[in-house]
Structure 1
Amino acid sequence: MDELIDILDAQGNYTGKTTMRSEAHKKGLFHPSIHVWLYTKNTEVLIQQRARNKDTHPGLWDVSVAGHIGAGEDIVDSAIREVKEEIGVDLLEKELQKIGVFKYSYLHRKDLLDCEFHHTFLSELKVPFSALKRQESEVDDLGLISIPTFRKELESNVISRKYVPYEMEYYDFVLNAIQTRL
């Protein structure tokens, strides 16, 4: 689904301009997005397999919930909205802990350069896994993976190919931030 998004400069500052997401991806324009990593008290992380029809990283395993921030939309409101849309969980603002903003660029093909600043949050998954309701147009599958297993898979040159190729420093930062909350 195409949507109107805000355009950022290369340092993550709002420029006052907006464009459609497809146009931002075509031109490699920076824009804001959210990542919400959900974890359990059993040291597991919720991951989602991106739908195979997605234009970016189809079929790869990714952060629990990710999405674009609509033009003029509040960042926290966007995170809450995306969690509800993608996995059917209602979160309150106080349940989200922002851990940082991360710059990300990935050239998918000549006409698709994704340039984002991920506003990244953590939240404890307080509902049973069986209660999650995935948005079929966005999410092919959901899974829980232990932090040690996740780290091991990310470090494997073969297995890591099933995950969205973020920098290992990003994954380490997120997993370390989760572990400090357990």
Structure 2
Amino acid sequence: MDELVDILDDQGKPTGQSCLKSEAHQKGLLHPTVHVWLYTPDGRVLIQQRSKNKATHPSLWDVSVAGHVSAGENIVNAAVREVAEEVGLTVSESDLELLCTFKAIHKISEDFTDAELHHIFLCQLTVPLNQLNKQESEVDDLALVPLFKFAEETWGLASVGKYVPHGPTYYKTIIKAIKSRT
């Protein structure tokens, strides 16, 4: 779905300009996104398999929930909205813990550069996997994996081709943060 997104400068500050997400991708303009990592108290992490119809990284495993922040939308509200949309889970602002921001720029093709400032949140998953309701247009599958297995598969990208290539630094940050909370 094409939507208006706010454009950020190189330091991640709003420029006051907005454009369609498709234009931001075409021109490689930095814009905000949210990543919400859901984890269980016993040390498992929820991952989603991206839809085979996605323009970027189809069928690869990825963050529990991810999405664009609409123009003028509050970052935390976007995270709450995306969790509800993608996995059918209602969370509140107080359930979300902002971990950090992570700037990622990936040239997908000649006319598609993904330039995003990910606002990364952690959120404890308090319901069983079978109570989640995946958004069919965005998510092909959901899985809960033990944190140690997830770490093995993403640190150093041992399973290249299975996960979205966020890079070892990104994955190490997430894994260390979840490990310290379980």
Written as runs of structure 1 = structure 2, the 5 A alignment for 1:122-137 is: 122-137=122-137
Counterpart AA for 1:119: H
Structure 2 gaps of 5+ residues are none
The Cα offsets for residues 9-30 of structure 1, whole Å up to 9 and x where unpaired, read as: 1111100000000000000000
Match of 2:23 in 1: 23
Number of residues of Structure 1 aligned to a counterpart in Structure 2: 182
Counterpart AA for 2:107: L
Q: CA deviation at 1:130?
A: 0.4
Structure 1 gaps of 5+ residues are none
Q: CA deviation at 1:42?
A: 1.6
The CA distance in 2 between the partners of 1:169 and 1:175, in whole Å, is 10
The CA distance in 2 between the partners of 1:25 and 1:120, in whole Å, is 20
Change (3 A) 1:6 1:153: same
Q: Kindly report the root-mean-square deviation, in angstroms, between the aligned alpha carbons of the 2 structures.
A: 1.0
Match of 2:98 in 1: 98
Match of 1:12 in 2: 12
Q: Is the 8 A contact 2:33 2:66 kept in 1?
A: yes
The Cα offsets for residues 96-127 of structure 1, whole Å up to 9 and x where unpaired, read as: 00000100011111111000000000000001
The Cα offsets for residues 65-98 of structure 1, whole Å up to 9 and x where unpaired, read as: 0000000000000000000000000001111000
The CA distance in 1 between the partners of 2:22 and 2:157, in whole Å, is 31
Written as runs of structure 1 = structure 2, the 5 A alignment for 1:45-56 is: 45-56=45-56
**TM-score normalised by structure 2 residue count:** 0.97
Match of 2:166 in 1: 166
Match of 1:119 in 2: 119
Match of 2:144 in 1: 144
Q: Is the 8 A contact 2:2 2:21 kept in 1?
A: yes
The CA distance in 2 between the partners of 1:48 and 1:84, in whole Å, is 14
Match of 1:86 in 2: 86
Q: CA deviation at 1:181?
A: 1.0
The CA distance in 1 between the partners of 2:127 and 2:165, in whole Å, is 28
Q: Is the 8 A contact 2:157 2:168 kept in 1?
A: no
Written as runs of structure 1 = structure 2, the 5 A alignment for 1:61-80 is: 61-80=61-80
Change (3 A) 1:151 1:160: farther
Q: Secondary structure at the match of 1:161?
A: coil
The CA distance in 2 between the partners of 1:157 and 1:168, in whole Å, is 7
**TM-score normalised by structure 1 residue count:** 0.97
